[in-house]
A and B are shown apart, each in its own frame.
Chain A
Amino acid sequence: MPQLRFVNVTKRFGKVLALDRISLDVNDGEYLCILGPTGSGKTTLLKLMAGLLTPDEGTIQSNDRRVNEVGVQDRNAVYVPQHYALFPHLTVLQNVAFGPLARGKPASLALEIASETLDLVRLSSRAQALPKELSGGMQQRVALARGLASGAKLLLLDEPLSAIDARLRLDLRHKIRDIVKQSGLTAVHVTHDQEEAMSVGDEIMILKNGRIQDFGPPQRVYRKPAGIFVAHLFGGASFFEGIVEHTVGETALIGVRGLTIQAPSRMLTLTSTVILGLRKERVRISADQPRGMDNVFRGEIRSVRFLGNSREYLVRLSNGDTIASRNFVENEAAFKVGDEVSISFRESDVMVFEYPAQGLLKELEVG
């Protein structure tokens, strides 16, 4: 039984359509990540879940009960805003105890709960500090503790890590997920960082311009993205425009400005225009011609990007298109700009998409 369900929820602000017929389920104990660029409606969605906003159309249900009209205080969902909104005039302990006190617990019990929760996030030593004395990462943990202590079953996190340094994010994001899972809560975590979403979500929802573009477990959304935008936002890819020249059984031959790419065929019509997408790590790069690969092309390296654990090569193919290859094997000698190389990938690595109505560039726009 889903803990939270949206049925065709629409929300407008004046003339602006912030959310368009959103339907989703959040199951008990799930960690849902909502990924989308700025302005896609993520915060609005979260606020609707919290009850801070009411939908213009559609129904919101909690445990099969309609809650559109239920007040914020009675929703059993706690909202943690982007910059935490810690009460500046209260100590850390008072902040965390606020929830239980508000829900009517006697002071002694509230403080006990608060202390326990602070222990959980390892901040007991700063219980008497004021928020402004803490670092960003610590404030984040206090905000989390405050939400946990309130006893709410649903935790709504609005870009919880955006104000944290990149390196610290790597550590904190797992900690947040661990604490949520340990406490048996359900969480909805909004972010614009796809790696973050990928690494902590049980389910991912991709949002663009107020509409759901894809929804599913990270692995599925990554391997079989529902559209070009999803593929681009969630993982990144090289895209090519091509025309279906030939179909034989499960295979299609796509002409891409003179080159022919072997791709999986799924009801493709001849002479239709399609977009092909290739994940960077699926594109292999080698000095010589590899054997046993469905697609092999020669190209010249245009640029090399060092990313720490990998190198990304931009290779210009003979037809003028550029393809990206991400290489994790580190003891192979690195290639240099200008090197002639072989690019190869399997048929099954090729993602095939419909040609988007507004053109490729517009489709890829993030804002």
Chain B
Amino acid sequence: MLIVIIPAVAGIVAQLFSLPTLALGAAVLTRMESAVSWSFIIGLTVSSLDLLAGVPLAWLIVRRRGNWATVLDSLADIPFVVPTVALGFSILEFWSSPDGIAQLFGSNSLVPPGVILIMLLHFAFSFPVIVRVMVGEFLNYRETYEVAARTLGASTFTAVRTVTLPILRTGLLAAFLLALARSLSETGATIVVAGAFENGTVFISNARNAGQTSAVVLASLILILSSLVVFGVIKVVAPRIRVAPLRVWPDFERKLSKSSVVTVRNIASVAIFMAFVLFPCLFIALPAIMAVASGTATEAIAGAGPWKAFWSSMLLSYVIAVLATVVNIVSGLPMAILIARNRFGTGITKIVDALVDLPIIVPSLALGVSLSFFWKNMGSLPEFWVIVLAHTTITYSYFVRAMTASIQEVQPELEDAAKTLGAQPLRVFRKITLPLTKYALLSGAILVFTRSVDETGATSAVSKTLKTAPILLVSWIKGTVSVTSPERALGVGFLVATSFLALVVLRLIAIRQPSRKVG
């Protein structure tokens, strides 16, 4: 655990201390201010829109049991698993290029690269976060509350608005914050669609390429601190917001509950999802398939030209991902157990809990900067290992969170019973806890793996010579390495294909998960 958290924290602290030594021009400072503020404006706007669009869809998935719902559920996961670089490219092609949706409107480009395109991108990849979290919340929610409200005379809309959503407000908040974190963090894809515009991460990336280290350090520091502040404030203030006294418009809300209105709403949810999330994400499939057809594929597999570098990057990405996964399991599992079973005592557990969340809150690019600071000062560690550690740090939180939740669901009584039956702690873990959480372990591992393959932010900050696959692809897309269109499309396609494999395995695991409750 310590390997993971300490460098991050220490790096940030070291950065703080280096403040006085930084030298920056006024123009750069104004650019930086504007970039960082834009990061937050984009993040907050997009997360709110995602919440508004995602909750109805999550509702639909949970309440409308049956085949359609399961299909929707799987589709909603797609943007989650597709690497963000691919997403960025797909969105770029969909909205901006002449081959995209612009065709339907008879123009060259519907949404040129810039802030709007960034928002469309962030909306798309934060959407599944909201849906996932809210689907989980709705599934765990005791429907009795809503039924009770309706037996008291409330229409469905009123019941949901006045009872279900307030009760689920912690879940809504968590979803919002996760979406926000993702938006603030994202680097690779944002660079692809930003054009000349700069948000925080684009600024830092540009500054890095231009060799302006002071700007890089300062900007990342500001990004980190402001993230911590924003999250801190929201986490503290939001739960204390008093639920407003009940104001109901019975006739109006009754009309909203009518099945015709509900159908319209459902269709709208699905339509928005398709138009702004699914199609833009899948658009990349077309050029990729065309590229295969055109024969580029054979070249690719042969490893000719740029493909040589591509395959070695892919190999690098996978090796790093595997290592990151292993380190995560080894260091994250014990931590999850300790947190889940409150072994530290309530006070310390809360602190540890918050610390574990750090890598999620802090934008990965900025985190990468901190980490390189730390390892630079610690003497020379091979770049490869620094990247592995960076990936481990980024994904640590996700893994520990998922495992903690899963372990907490295993009723303590089961472990108590096992202990009194004479089982030593190791046996309790092996025979009881592990079998009941192994599916979470598996899904957690796969999520870590895909997130690592996906990672651009911290990697770009930390790597100097080694290029992981997404980083390579960014250079292909932006043209810093010149490749043909079909080659670009195919490269992205290969990356997506592997992630799809992971998604399929995840789904299979989820279906086979046994129920954990008895009676």
Contacts and interface: CB of A to CB of B under 8 A. Distances in A.
Contacts of B517: 88, 132
B422 A73 contact: yes
Interface string B384-426: 0000000000000000000000000001011011111111100
A102 B422 contact: yes
Interface stretch (B160-168, B286-294, B371-379, B430-438): B430-438
A139 B517 CA distance: 13
Contact of A77 (B420, B431, B514, B515): B420
Contacts of B258: none
Given A83-B519, A84-B519, A86-B518, A102 B423 contact: yes
A305 B420 CA distance: 45
B421 A98 contact: yes
A73 B423 contact: yes
B427 interface: yes
A139 B519 contact: yes
A75 interface: yes
A52 B416 contact: yes
Given A81-B413, A87-B432, A88-B436, A131 B423 contact: no
Contacts of B514: 88-89
B64 interface: no
B427 A81 contact: no
Contact of B422 (A81, A103, A131, A134): A103
B419 A131 contact: no
B242 interface: no
Size bin of chain A's contact surface = 35 or more
B416 A150 contact: no
Contacts of B519: 83-84, 86, 131-132, 134, 136, 139, 163
A85 interface: yes
B42 to A, nearest CB: 45
A43 to B, nearest CB: 11
A117 to B, nearest CB: 13
B240 interface: no
B516 interface: yes
Nearest to B427: A102
Contacts of A78: 420-421
A50 interface: yes
Contacts of A41: none
A73 B419 contact: yes
Nearest to B435: A89
B515 A81 contact: no
Given A85-B413, A89-B435, A150 B422 contact: yes
Contacts of A88: 436, 514-518
Contacts of A150: 421-422
A160 interface: no
Identify which of B422, B517, B519 gathers the most chain A CB atoms within 10 Å of its CB: B422
A75 B413 contact: no
Interface in A147-173: 147, 150, 152, 156, 163
Contacts of B414: 85, 87
B413 A99 contact: no
B191 to A, nearest CB: 47
A102 B427 CA distance: 8
Contacts of A80: 417
A99 B411 contact: no
A78 B417 CA distance: 7
Identify which of B421, B423, B514, B519 gathers the most chain A CB atoms within 10 Å of its CB: B421
Interface in A283-321: none
Interface in A193-210: none
Given A52-B416, A84-B518, A131-B519, A73 B411 contact: no
Contacts of A50: 416, 420
Interface string A64-98: 00000000110101111111111111000000001
B408 to A, nearest CB: 16
Contacts of A98: 418, 421, 423, 431
B417 to A, nearest CB: 4
Nearest to A89: B435
Interface in A90-121: 98-99, 102-103
A104 to B, nearest CB: 8
Nearest to B419: A72
A278 B517 CA distance: 46
A46 B220 CA distance: 55
A99 B516 contact: no
Contacts of B422: 73, 99, 102-103, 150, 152
Interface string B23-39: 00000000000000000
A51 B420 CA distance: 8
Given A81-B413, A85-B411, A89-B436, A52 B515 contact: no
Nearest to A105: B422
Contacts of B423: 73, 98, 102
Interface of A: 47, 50-52, 72-73, 75, 77-89, 98-99, 102-103, 131-132, 134, 136, 139, 146-147, 150, 152, 156, 163
11 contacts: A73-B424, A75-B420, A83-B519, A84-B519, A85-B414, A87-B417, A88-B436, A88-B518, A132-B515, A139-B519, A152-B420
Given A82-B413, A98-B423, A98-B431, 8 more contacts: A52-B420, A72-B420, A84-B518, A88-B517, A99-B421, A136-B519, A150-B422, A156-B420
Interface of B: 411, 413-414, 416-424, 427, 431-432, 435-436, 514-519
* 3 closest cross-chain pairs (CB), A and B: A85-B413, A102-B423, A99-B421
